Chains A and B, each alone.
Chain A
Amino acid sequence: MASSLFLDPLQLWREAVNKLENDVNALATGSMKSQEVARSLQQFSTVSLGMQQVLEKAIEAYLRRANLPSRKELEAVAETLQRIEHKIDQLLPAEAVPVPRPARTRRPQGAAPAAAAAPAPAPAPRPARTRGRSTTRRAGKP
Chain B
Amino acid sequence: MATNVKERDADPALAERLRLEVERAFQRSLKGFELLGAPPPTVGRTPKTVLHRRGTLELVHYHAVADEVYRIPLLIVMAPTNKGYILDLAPGQSLIEFLLQRGYDVYMIDWHAPAPHERDLKIDNYVLDFIPDCIRRVQQDSGEEDINLIGYCAGGMLSVIYQSLHADGPVRNLACFTTPIDFSKMELFRSMAGEKAFDVDAFVEKNGIVPADVVASGFEALRPASRIASQIKLWDNLWNDQFVKGFRMMERWGNETLPLPGGYFRQTTRELLRGNALYEGTLRIGGRPVDLGNITVPLLHVVAQYDHIVPPACAAPLVQRVGSADKEEVVLPGGHVSIAAGPNAVKRMWPKLDAWLEERSV
Chain A residues within CB distance 8 Å of chain B: 1-6, 8, 10, 14, 17-18, 20-21, 24-25, 28-29, 32-35, 38-39, 41-42, 45-46, 49, 52, 83, 86, 89, 97, 99-111, 121, 124-127, 129, 131, 133-138, 141-142
> Contact at A29–B233, with CB atoms within 8 Å?
no
Are B13 and A135 closer than 8 Å at their CB atoms?
no
Known: A106-B362, A125-B143. A21 touches B225 (CB 8 A): yes
What are the residues of chain A within 8 A of B50 when measuring CB–CB? 86, 89
- Which among A4, A24, A103 is the interface contact of B225 at CB below 8 angstroms? A24
Complex Cα distance, B88 from A44, in Å, reads: 36
Q: Mark B1-24, 1 if CB is under 8 A from A, else 0.
A: 000000100111110110001000
Give the residue of B11, B63, B169, B187 whose beta carbon is less than 8 angstroms from that of A5. Answer: B11
- Least CB distance, B58 to chain A, in whole angstroms: 9
What are 23 contact pairs spanning A and B, CB under 8 A? A5-B13, A17-B229, A18-B229, A24-B225, A28-B221, A28-B225, A33-B188, A33-B191, A38-B194, A49-B214, A52-B213, A102-B64, A102-B66, A102-B69, A103-B69, A106-B69, A106-B361, A108-B362, A124-B143, A124-B144, A129-B140, A135-B145, A137-B168
A24-B225, A108-B359, A121-B71 known; A38-B192 Cβ under 8 A: yes
Residues of A within 8 A of B16 (CB): 1
Whether A134 touches B71, Cβ cut-off 8 Å, given contacts A20-B225, A86-B50, is no
- Pair A6/B191 contact, Cβ less than 8 Å: no
Which 4 residue pairs across A and B have the least CB separation, nearest first?
A24-B225, A4-B13, A21-B229, A124-B143
| Chain B residues, Cβ within 8 Å of A42 | 192, 197-198
Interface size on B, residues (CB 8 A): 67
Give the residues in chain A near B172, CB-CB below 8 Å.
141
Chain B residues numbered 175-224 whose CB sits less than 8 Å from any CB in chain A: 187-188, 191-192, 194, 196-198, 203, 207, 211, 213-214, 217, 221-224
CB of A2 within 8 A of CB of B13, answer yes
Apart from A24-B224, A45-B214, list 6 A-B contacts with CB within 8 A: A6-B11, A25-B226, A28-B224, A106-B69, A108-B358, A135-B170
B49 within 8 A of A: yes
A45 B217 Cβ-Cβ under 8 A: yes
B348 adjacent to chain A (CB < 8 Å): no
Q: Is B232 an interface residue (CB 8 A)?
A: yes
Q: Are A17 and B233 in contact (CB under 8 A)?
A: yes
Complex formed: what's the CA distance from A131 to B318 in Å?
35
Give CA–CA (A24, B225) in the complex, Å: 6
A54 to chain B, nearest CB (A): 12
Partner of A127, one of B143, B229, B358: B143
- A80→B139 CA distance, assembly (Å): 28
Interchain CB contact under 8 A, B21 and A104: no
In the assembly, what is the distance between CA of A4 and CA of B16, in Å?
9
C-alpha spacing A138/B49, complex, angstroms:
29
Q: Across the interface, which residues of B come within 8 angstroms of A108, CB to CB? A: 358-359, 362
Chain B residues, Cβ within 8 Å of A14: 236
Which residues of chain B come closer than 8 Å to A131, judged between CB atoms?
A: 139-140
- Chain A residue numbers with a CB within 8 Å of B49 are 97, 99
Q: Select B221's contact among A4, A32, A138, beta carbons within 8 Å.
A: A32
B67 at the interface (CB under 8 A from A): yes
Chain B residues lying within 8 Å of A104, measured Cβ to Cβ, are 68-71, 105, 142, 144
A86–chain B nearest beta-carbon distance, Å: 6
Which of A8, A10, A97, A105 is the one whose CB lies under 8 Å from B68?
Answer: A105
| Interface positions of B from 90 to 111, Cβ below 8 Å from A | 103, 105
Tell me, in angstroms, the Cα distance from A110 to B69 when the chains sit together: 15
- Taking a contact as CB atoms under 8 Å apart, the answer to whether A4 and B140 are in contact is no
